[in-house]
Structure 1
Amino acid sequence: MRKSNVVLAVCRSYDEEKVYESVRDAVAALGGIGHFVSPEENILVKPNLLYPSKTEKCITTNPAVIKAVLRLLSEAGYARVKVGDSPATGSCRQAMNQLGLSEEQLYGAKIADMSREVFVRYPEGKAAKSFWFCEEVLQADAIIGVCKMKTHAFLKITGAVKNMYGLICGTRKAQGHVRYPNAAKFSEMLVDIHNLVKPRLHVMDAVVAMEGNGPGSGTPTEMGLIIISADPVAIDTVFARLVDLDPVLVPTNTQGMVAGIGTCRENEIALMLLDNGILTDISFDEMFSRFGKKDFDVSREKDRLSVLSLLSKVTGRFTRRPYIDAGKCVKCGICVNHCPVKGRAVTFKKGKDNIPVYDYRKCIRCFCCQEICPQHAIIVK
């Protein structure tokens, strides 16, 4: 049986040389960069740039990891490389600049203009029959994902599978939560993106992860790893096991396996550990023993019984909700502006001198407000 290979490279700091060596050697263990992309192809490197933010907040892929992937491509002779994501707010260039990344530092790669959109039909999609992609996506022959290890209020975790949602133009992403209002349907849509664009390789920045109120308001926590694979579901499965989360509780894992973009079965995943230049096989149990965090703050709730699910829809009880911390809220209105629901589920009902107010009868629990709040003032509980 052919297995999905996943390499875990031990990397305990963002020292650029150490990060580069970890990425270089891990990719070599998987067959080398030429196994995944060709020099004549137009390559788009896709980091997680949720919104422009400082590196230390751990909201985005660390610039050292982005630069390591770009350097690897450059030193292998790849000259047609762009790097970009479509942030929820601001531009790709603004997000890169906030990380201290200018084109002069990108080993010849260009910052992609992710602001122009193109309508793409996809009749083969299970959940999505069309997408509004950034134009740069269609110009790319190959995509390499460079994701961040973070929790996610809606999907439990965000990793390799969820990272590709940034190929959708920023203003369109919130509307996706209206069209695909529950985690299963939303995950089906994400899997449709993967089946359409077929990313070649995934690099996960897990040197310092985000736990708790992710993906934008959580707490940085050291994991000391860079995880690399061609299989996005296998990477996210490794992520889940490292934080003591059952991989089948992650909807992108189960939907991804059903649709054939990867596997979350441990017996179908071959783990390799790269530590100080030495490559060895490692089991899931040994991986968790050495690097896992049982107390990692992530939702481990199972799907509720159908009766409770029905009651949740009818009464609004027995379900998680976003709440605003009045002590942190600065009344900027970003949560209001980004609510995708018609008529808004969060508004300045009491005036702009007061914090926004939720109408939970309208709220679809997409948690876009929590994801985008720059003050980390919205929690889900």
Structure 2
Amino acid sequence: MSEVVIIHCDNYEYDKVKSAINRGLEYLGGVQRFARADERILLKPNLLAADPPERCVTTHPAVFAAVAEAFIQHGVYLTYGDSPGFGSLSKAARKSGLAGVAGDLSIEAGNFEVGERITFAAGKQNKSFVIAQAAARAEGIISLPKLKSHALTTLTGAIKNQFGCIPGFLKGEYHAKLTDMKQFVTMLVDLNRCLKPRLYVMDAIMAMEGNGPRNGSPRRIGALLFSSDPVAIDATAARMVGLVPDSLEMIRIGQELGLGRMDKEAITLLGDALAPLVITDFELAHSRNIARLAKHRLRHAIVERPRIKEEKCIRCGICIQVCPVTPKALQWVGGDASVNPPDKPPCYDYDRCIRCYCCQELCPEGAIMVHTPIIGQVLNCLKPPVS
């Protein structure tokens, strides 16, 4: 049986968060179950982008600090870090508030720019990974995911959080090479099997719904989740927001490959009740991904696509920079923006677009949405009931 601890916590007041963190850890046997004194442990928060805590893009600094204090009191040596989707770790940590609390606790940022290749012979999709030095050299990893909607994987939580252990634009290469959804999420599962984080503490006090994982809306759920099983914790989070775990490919493949358990009967829930937290109107980044139903000749009429809202676009060009395919799937209309400042947003070539949604994920203005054509909307399945 896998254990998932649920602790109700309705805001980020530090004393409340610290009490909730300590209570959750005790249900799982305490800090000593996950680290020995003097071990070098990496705290891996979600630091997707340089955004303030109130936007709910990143792991909240109160959650980070409370977990860190618990391990420091046990004599554990901590570092922290993530590889943001765009920009530097230092900027993302500073803007999100994590750099401040890390400094107060004398926790150093790890090196997430230099990678080291690690062989993983047991991988289903990937037999090796280039891993950020800080993650590769840590004796153990404590993962601190943020619960959010996600245009590609529907939800981002425990399993997806380790993608940030791949440095810089190498993440884009995985998107470009693994254009099939099953291949991509199998890679994520392999990555977790390779890195083997010891503990996952999910920040679901304030989640993100809608145009996630960066430009959605904060949504109060009021909980912290704890587990050593990333499949079980993601499955429990999925049930909290009204989704059937088996409908999410990342969770389903995680169970198939032995990363963890998603079935209700295989998960023991500890702590506080799940039922009061369940919401049935959680807004996803799009209705349902139906790409697997589309024949190639009908692709443009059915499958979701990123689309730019011209009135919100500030012509920064980040979407072009982060597009992982060559040639790029979007370009400035009329040529080189460095020569002629653009008066229109970039234009997509949907034949090149692989629907990775890196552009939507990292747009700083929330100007890119996932649009489903009319025929696709008709064919979309209804959101499944809670299970």
Matched residue type, 2:80: V
Instruction: Tell whether 2:78 aligns with 1:81.
Output: yes
Query: What do the CA deviations read for 1:55-107 (whole angstroms, capped 9, x no partner)?
Result: 111110111111111111111221x2101101112222221111233366452
Q: Distance in 2 between matches of 1:195 and 1:304?
A: 28
Question: 1:124 Cα shift?
Answer: 2.4
Q: Assess if the C-alpha contact under 8 Å between 1:148 and 1:205 holds in 2.
A: yes
2:155 pairs, out of 132, 157, 163, with 157
1:337 — aligned with what? 321
Which deviates more, 86-95 or 248-257?
A: 86-95
Matched residue type, 1:251: E
Q: Distance in 2 between matches of 1:305 and 1:91?
A: 33
Instruction: Tell whether 2:294 aligns with 1:309.
Output: yes
Q: Assess if the C-alpha contact under 8 Å between 2:4 and 2:225 holds in 1.
A: yes
Matched residue type, 1:360: Y
1:96 — aligned with what? 93
Number of corresponding residues: 364
Question: 1:215 Cα shift?
Answer: 0.3
Instruction: Tell whether 2:187 aligns with 1:189.
Output: yes
1:294 — aligned with what? 280
SS at match of 2:301: coil
SS at match of 1:170: coil
Query: What do the CA deviations read for 1:269-289 (whole angstroms, capped 9, x no partner)?
Result: 111234xxxxxxx4xxxx23x
2:218 pairs, out of 212, 217, 220, with 220
In structure 2, relative to structure 1, the CA distance for the partners of 1:24 and 1:370 (3 Å cut) is same
Q: Assess if the C-alpha contact under 8 Å between 2:290 and 2:303 holds in 1.
A: no
Q: Distance in 2 between matches of 1:113 and 1:88?
A: 15
1:277 — aligned with what? none
Where do residues 171-320 of structure 1 align in structure 2 (5 Å cutoff)?
171-274=169-272, 282=273, 287-288=274-275, 290-298=276-284, 304=290, 308-311=293-296, 315-320=299-304
Question: 1:353 Cα shift?
Answer: 2.5
Q: Assess if the C-alpha contact under 8 Å between 1:249 and 1:302 holds in 2.
A: no
SS at match of 2:251: helix
Q: Distance in 2 between matches of 1:340 and 1:37?
A: 37
**Where does the alignment leave 5 or more consecutive residues of structure 1 unmatched?**
275-281
2:69 — aligned with what? 71
Instruction: Tell whether 2:330 aligns with 1:346.
Output: yes
In structure 2, relative to structure 1, the CA distance for the partners of 1:229 and 1:369 (3 Å cut) is same
Query: What do the CA deviations read for 1:172-226 (whole angstroms, capped 9, x no partner)?
Result: 1111111111221111001111111111000000000000110011000111101
Matched residue type, 1:339: C
Q: Assess if the C-alpha contact under 8 Å between 2:38 and 2:75 holds in 1.
A: no
SS at match of 2:3: strand
Q: Assess if the C-alpha contact under 8 Å between 1:147 and 1:160 holds in 2.
A: yes
1:325 — aligned with what? 309
1:364 — aligned with what? 354
Instruction: Tell whether 2:74 aligns with 1:45.
Output: no
Identity %: 37
Instruction: Tell whether 2:365 aligns with 1:375.
Output: yes
Q: Assess if the C-alpha contact under 8 Å between 2:310 and 2:344 holds in 1.
A: no
Where do residues 103-114 of structure 1 align in structure 2 (5 Å cutoff)?
105-114=103-112
Q: Assess if the C-alpha contact under 8 Å between 1:71 and 1:106 holds in 2.
A: no
In structure 2, relative to structure 1, the CA distance for the partners of 1:147 and 1:12 (3 Å cut) is same
Query: What do the CA deviations read for 1:224-268 (whole angstroms, capped 9, x no partner)?
Result: 101111111111111111111111111110110011111110110
Question: 1:128 Cα shift?
Answer: 1.2
